[in-house]
Amino acid sequence: MTNTREPLLIFDCDGVLVDSEPLSIRVLLDTVAAHGGHLTETEAYQRFLGRSMATLVSVLDTDFDIRADAAFLERMRRDLYARFEKELQPIAGIAEVIAQLPWRKCVASSSQPERIRLSLDLTGLREHLEPYIFSATMVKNGKPAPDLFLHAAKEMGVDPLCCIVVEDSPAGIIAAQRAGMKVFAFTGGSHADREDYRTEISALKPTVIFDDMADLIHLVEKECEARA
């Protein structure tokens, strides 16, 4: 492991790099309805924000009696990618921030590798982050387990204590905390205006809560000064 005090920034993808959460939730709700099920928007955000596909399939089956079989998943994937190609946007200011970051960085997302790279391609961010892209499919347990963040740190050769995770979901914040990492909660995505969401994020007591990506470099610098 690297003993340097220089941080490794670990970015979640959906809701942190790309403003995808409302698109994803809408497609999920439409797919559930098309297969005869019912799920509210509030339930979808509370149960699935930041979670892996494996978790989604399991929870739909166990808690909502909705079977997300191969046909369900294929329809959702097809519709989601089509919507991404028409509507997906990067988080405001993220490209400029990533280009200016003086520290090492990587992506650790609950999404599948194909979806992560498509999202980054469509928003022009992939060139800044490739090849350091890690998916929940690479570990046994997805968020809120710490496995993915610990895997990313190990692959990057950095002590978890030197990592700063940038996350938007409660599951991701908990995962970073369980990994022993600092976590900066980003609440600037278009899904983050819900009062229940902001209350839950605040209750988790992340290291920092911020809603403007332009502030990230200053916040990391401040954290580095505190560690010195």
185 and 172 in a common domain: yes
Residue 57 lies in a domain: yes
**Is residue 92 classed as helix, strand or coil in its secondary structure?**
coil
pLDDT level of residue 5 (50, 70, 90 thresholds)? low
| pLDDT tens per residue, range 74-113 | 999 999 999 999 999 999 999 999 999 999 999 999 999 9
Domain end call among 87, 106, 131: 87
Q: Are residues 118 and 170 in the same domain?
A: yes
Q: Is residue 164 part of a domain?
A: yes
CB atoms within 10 A of CB 217: 15
Per-residue pLDDT tens digits for 124-164:
999 999 999 999 999 999 999 999 999 999 999 999 999 99
pTM over 0.85: yes
**The predicted structure's pLDDT at residue 36:** 86
- Which has the minimum average pLDDT: 40-44, 47-51, 133-137, 216-220? 47-51
Q: Which of 19, 7, 60, 46 is nearest to 176 (CA)?
A: 7
CATH number, position 159: 3.40.50.1000
> Which of 34, 65, 87 delimits the end of a domain?
87
Q: Which amino acid is at 176?
A: A
